[in-house]
Amino acid sequence: MAPSDEVTAAVGAAPDYGALARKAEQLRQIVAQPSAKEAAAQELARIEQQLVRRREDEGVAAAKARLVGIRRAVGSLMNEYGEDRQGVRDAVVALRAAIETLNARAEQLGSLRAEAEALADRFGLELPKLVMPHEPEAEIDLTLPPFWYRAPQRPAFEQDEHRLRERRTYQEVDGTEGHRIILAAGLAPWPALTPEQQAVIAERAEDKRKERESMAEFAREAARIPTAGPLERLGRLPGR
């Protein structure tokens, strides 16, 4: 995807990016050959560094432009959010008034039914059929969606092959324009190994070397043990 005008204006005109990439691929093929010359390797390293710097510059410019867009979008959405919030408040006021009216109506109906039952009972009269409402739970769906709550955004990380270093993958914003910009520029390089981490890696490598030597020695010792033939095994049976 070609960089936007804002990105181009921020980082300046670039050399032919596609040409650099094609040349880098050609040099990689040359370096992969046993007869590769040191000059080709140096040229490949220089071009790859140029490509990395260019991706980083474009990423920085795109990120700055996107942050400006996010700031503007947040301001606009906050205005709309305030209007929506006031709409909810108005709806709650109207709902409260409607519920109070409904409850008053139900109270009047209940009072009339009680009055009719009292008259019928006292004077031995037949109680007329009086249609009474059900409780609101049986007539109205009172289920409302819960209000949102601010859930913490937990950054996503990955560990290196030694499980000693970690870096952010930004997977928590997957699907956003910001995540696309990050993937285009590439993740940040792993932090340099500390002396303590280097010592841990060296110790692990030494442990693996000793383990391989032990397994090889065990295999050699096992190979020296003669395998008994059928007659020899019979000669060692109990009672022989």
Tokens 């601010």 sit at which residue?
A: 150
Is 235 part of a structural domain of the chain?
A: no
Of 3-17, 90-104, 119-133, the least confident: 3-17
61 pLDDT higher than 90: yes
List residues bridging with 51 in a β-sheet: none
Is 19 part of a structural domain of the chain?
A: yes
3-state helix, strand, coil in the chain (%, to 5): 65, 0, 30
- Model confidence at 70, pLDDT cuts 50, 70, 90, reads very high
Is 137 part of a structural domain of the chain?
A: yes
20 pLDDT higher than 70: yes
User: Do the Cβ atoms of 4 and 180 come closer than 8 Å?
Assistant: no
Is 172 part of a structural domain of the chain?
A: no
How many structural domains are present in the chain? 1
Is 205 part of a structural domain of the chain?
A: no
What pLDDT does 1 receive? 52
Residue 114 burial (10 A CB sphere; 0-12, 13-18, 19+): exposed
Is 144 part of a structural domain of the chain?
A: yes
Residue 105: domain span: 1-148
The CB density around residue 104, as the number of other CB atoms within 10 Å, is: 10
Rounded to the nearest 10°, the torsion over CA 143, 146, 147, 153 is: -160
With a threshold of 0.85, does the pTM exceed it?
no
Is 204 part of a structural domain of the chain?
A: no
Is 88 part of a structural domain of the chain?
A: yes
